[in-house]
Structures are given as C-alpha cells and as structure tokens.
A and B are shown apart, each in its own frame.
Chain A
Amino acid sequence: MTPCIFAFSSHNRGMYQTIGETIKVAGVFGSAKFTPKKFEWRTQIYQISQITLVNDVKDGGIKKRWYSVMAGANLYRLCFNRDNESWSLEEVWCE
C-alpha cells in the first residue's frame, strides 16, 4: 500500500509528497557507477523496476545524488548523501 500522507491539490491529479526518511538500499556497482535495485522503507521492501533520472547536485558543500525510481506503480525520489554515505527517501509521487 502506498502511503500518501497529505491531501491532494484541488487542481492537480497528482503531486509530490514529502517524506524525508532514512532508508536502506541494495544495488549493483559496475562500470564506475552504482545502480540501486531495491530499497527498504518502514520495513517494506520495494523492488526498483526502472531508474528514470539520476542527477548530481550540491547542497552547500555536500554532494548528493538523486535517483528517481519506479517501484511497483509509484515513483520515488531517493537521495544518496555522498558525504556521509546515507540514503533517504525524499518524496513520493501520489496520483
């Protein structure tokens, strides 16, 4: 079940819901890059079927890598903090 915490916008059929929680991620290192394959959020395992976009951004001096992934029928925005090597689930798209 996809948790959607907040009310939807009265106009948009969907929107991003902020989560901001720590997660665990498993994936594959190869060809000088890491590909996440699944993640655990609130004790549930989500199998990543597609990575739609990856971006490198800087938050101050902290380098972060954003992974936008499809798992099941939902889109999740994962964030890898390259400074402290931690993962978080930042947002979920709720239709």
Chain B
Amino acid sequence: MSDEPSTPKRILHIDINSYFATLLQQENPFLRGKPVGVLKSAGRTCIIAASKEAKKKGVKTGCYLKEARQLAPDLITVPAEFDRYLDCTKRLKKLFDSLSPDVDIFSLDEAFVDLTYCSTLYPDAHEFAQQVQQKIKADLGEWVTCNIGISHNRLLAKIASEITPPDSIFEINGDNKDAILAKVEFKDVCGIGSRLGAKLGRLGIHHPYAINFWSEEDLADFFGPFWSKELKRIGAGEDSHILSLVDRNRDHEMKSVGRTITGYKLCDSELEIKQTLYNLMEELIYKVRKMDMAGRHVGICLWGHDESWYAHRTLKYYVRHTQELFELLYNQSYSSWDRSFKVIKYGVFLNQLKPMSQISQCLLPSWNRQEKISQALDHLTEKYGLFTVKPGLLTNFKMIRPEVTGYLGDKKYQLG
C-alpha cells in the first residue's frame, strides 16, 4: 500500500544528542569534551546515559560501571537530574509549538514536527531544520546539539536522525529510501527491538529492505499474523504500528499507570519490602488522583536475581485510594507469594483507568470517608509536596521520590 498522500508530507524527527549527558555538560563546563557517564543516582552501577565522548570510547547505555571504566578510564560519573531534563523538555515543547501546530513529543529528548501544512511558512525543510538547531542552542545552550531527520513519514524521519552523525540534518526521500533501507540496521528502526532483530538475523534478514523478499505468509510462519504485516510495512519504509499511534495518542486518556524501582541490593526484609511497596503505591495513587481517574486492574511484580513473581486481579469496582490498593496488593496478593527469593526490583500498577466523570459514584460511607481524607491529603501534597504527610510505616524509611522516565510514557501527565 502506498504511503504517498496527495499533499506530500514533510515530517521532521528531532533528537537531542546524548540528552542526559549533554545537558549536564551544558550546565557544567568542566564536563564538556570529556567522557561522562550518567548514573540514575549516586551509588548506582549502571550507566543510563553516556556523553558523545564516552560513546566514542564504546560506553553505551546499560553498560555497567566497571566495564565502562575499562573502556574509558577517564570517565566522569554524575547522577542524573530528572527535574532538569523535564524542564528542558517542556521548553523544547514550547519552542516546537511556536514553530508548528503539529508537534508530538515522542520521548524526553525526541519530537516529531509535521511541516506538511506549513509549506508557505517554511518552504525549505532543511532551512527550517537549521533554524531549529540554532533555536535549541539559543534556548538551552551552545553545547546542546541535535540530529534532525526529514522524510515523508515518521519511521523514515526517525531512521534519518538515527543514522546521521551528531549535530547534522539528513533527509530520506524517494531517491535514497531503498538504499537506506538496504543498509540500516534494525537497532536504528523504531518498532523493532533487539530480540526481534536477532530473530530476523537468524533468518538472514539483516536490513529492512531484505524483508521485501519474503512473503507475508512466510513471515507469519515465524512471527505470527501481526508481525508479518508489521514487518512488511517496515520493509516498504512505512510507519510502524508504534509510530502510527503517535497521532492517536494525542487526545487519548491514559489507560494505565505503573511504578517500578530497582533497589541497591537483594532484600529479604519483610519490613523493607512492605515499606517499598507502600511508597510506590502512594506515588501511583497520587498520579491517578491528580488525573482524576481510578482503575480496576491491579498488579504487583517482584524480581530477584534470576526469578520473578507476578500477581494481578481485575476488580468489579474502581480503586483510587492508597489504603485500598495496599490491602489488595500487599495484604492479599503479596501474602500468597512463597518468598522463594530475595527481591531487587519492585513494581506495582493500576490499569483500566477511567476518568471519575465516567464512573458511577460509590455510595458506601467507608469509601466516601476515605475519599474525603484523600482529598485533604491531596491539598497538602499539592502545596507542600508528595510525602509531606506519610503513614507511620514510612517514618524511618528513605523515601523513593517520583521519577521521569526517558520514554515519557506519561507525557500527558508530565507535560500537561
């Protein structure tokens, strides 16, 4: 199926280079030009982001600190500053919104800008891209650079920005599309993860263009009916499913919230596990209440070194109080777990969210009493911050604070 509309689409993908590290280098001139590895927080041992200089030495996201220091003995490690990143992303959004009415923030450091209906304002997409690069430097600082990919759909625009060198602009059009698809690796294609890429590789499919030599039926034998169609689309250079959802997600209400945290060490202390879970649930419920929503599918996950355990339930009613969620997940679900391993990672989630305006009001006095208490706590939280008031259970507990994820799955909540 052709991807070419009647009005030629012009989409830009803007990707800030090594966002987490670059912003810290912009802020701190002593870090500029040096290999910098960003840790989630002091004491962590996994690099969550590396500067351009560190990447040149082979330091990658997900690299352990010991390995990173072997690759770059002069590596400087700094803790991530998520509040800064989110503020800078908000400023980028404001900048992009001032340039085009069709902007989608894809993650903390990426955005799609659609220029299709701005051709009178910006007749030359390359000139526009150069302007964007200059405006980003003017707003965030001269050290902040970005790649910009240009094409007629998001998949190709994103591939273009992935494969071009830092601080440059690249366009994929009808003339070079097939050549690019025959050369680009799956790691640079949005919608194809490492496992799927490896599976394709085992079949001798190393680049998207090679998919065109397979029929949909043959692909379905290995990848199933969904992925066979999806792969054919990608092979033809059309938007992948995840990218085609970008438009739809603009006005979509959030359907689920989750919160996970990885601890510093394996834990088998019942008290510490209980405190951690309560902390996570408190944050999760705060988010749900801030969006004026409630959910009815609850779940809990625990991970050990090599093991995991998971429990979930779909309720006939909606939940939006921490105590109630704690009762369901800790006192009921968690109590059924056999404690067969020490826990390093914790997760809680609340799915099938619905706005309160669409939920029948609960008439139980106990629920309404809890709702009044929660509303009072909401006011205090809004004024003084989360965990200003906390239960006795968390009195001597080092609180886990809310974080922003790089993917920004909750962008509507974070960016407003």
Using a CB–CB distance below 8 Å, which chain A residues touch chain B? Answer: 11-16, 50, 52-53, 55-57, 59-62, 66, 68, 70, 75, 93, 95
Contact = CB atoms under 8 A, between A and B. Distances in A.
Closest 10 CB pairs of A and B: A60-B385, A53-B27, A61-B383, A57-B83, A55-B87, A68-B27, A60-B384, A55-B84, A52-B27, A12-B76
Contacts of B28: 52, 68, 75, 93
Contacts of A70: 29
Interface in B78-128: 78, 83-84, 87-88
Of A50, A55, A75, the most chain B CB neighbours within 10 A belong to A55
B84 A11 contact: no
Contacts of A75: 27-30
Nearest to B382: A61
**Secondary structure call for the B interface:** helix
Contacts of A68: 27-28
A16 B79 CA distance: 10
Nearest to B74: A13
B83 A60 contact: no
Contact of B87 (A14, A15, A57): A57
Interface residues of B, number: 25
A52 B385 contact: no
B388 interface: yes
Given A53-B141, A57-B83, A14 B384 contact: no
B356 interface: no
Given A12-B77, A53-B141, A75-B29, A59 B385 contact: yes
Given A53-B141, A75-B30, A95-B30, 9 more contacts: A13-B76, A15-B78, A16-B78, A52-B28, A60-B388, A61-B382, A62-B384, A75-B27, A75-B29
13 contacts: A13-B74, A15-B78, A53-B27, A53-B84, A53-B141, A55-B87, A56-B87, A60-B381, A60-B384, A61-B383, A68-B27, A75-B28, A95-B30
Contacts of B385: 59-62
A18 to B, nearest CB: 11
A17 B84 CA distance: 18
A12 B29 CA distance: 15
Nearest to B65: A11
Interface of B: 23, 26-30, 69, 74-78, 83-84, 87-88, 140-141, 381-386, 388
Of B23, B30, B74, B382, the most chain A CB neighbours within 10 A belong to B30
A93 B381 CA distance: 32
B69 A11 contact: yes
A78 B76 CA distance: 22
Contacts of B83: 55, 57
A50 B75 CA distance: 25
A16 B27 CA distance: 12
Contacts of B78: 15-16
B82 to A, nearest CB: 10
Nearest to B88: A55
Contacts of A93: 28, 30
A60 B386 contact: yes
A70 B31 CA distance: 13
A66 B383 contact: no
Contacts of A61: 382-385
A55 B82 CA distance: 11
Contacts of A52: 26-29, 141
B410 to A, nearest CB: 16
A56 B77 CA distance: 24
A60 B381 CA distance: 7
Contacts of B87: 55-57
B84 A66 contact: yes
Of A12, A14, A53, A60, the most chain B CB neighbours within 10 A belong to A53
A70 B87 CA distance: 21
Nearest to B82: A57
A67 to B, nearest CB: 10
A62 B26 CA distance: 25
B384 A11 contact: no
A11 B77 contact: yes
Contacts of A62: 384-385
A76 to B, nearest CB: 11
A15 to B, nearest CB: 8
Contacts of B88: 55
Nearest to A14: B30
A50 B142 CA distance: 12
Contact of B26 (A14, A16, A53, A57): A53
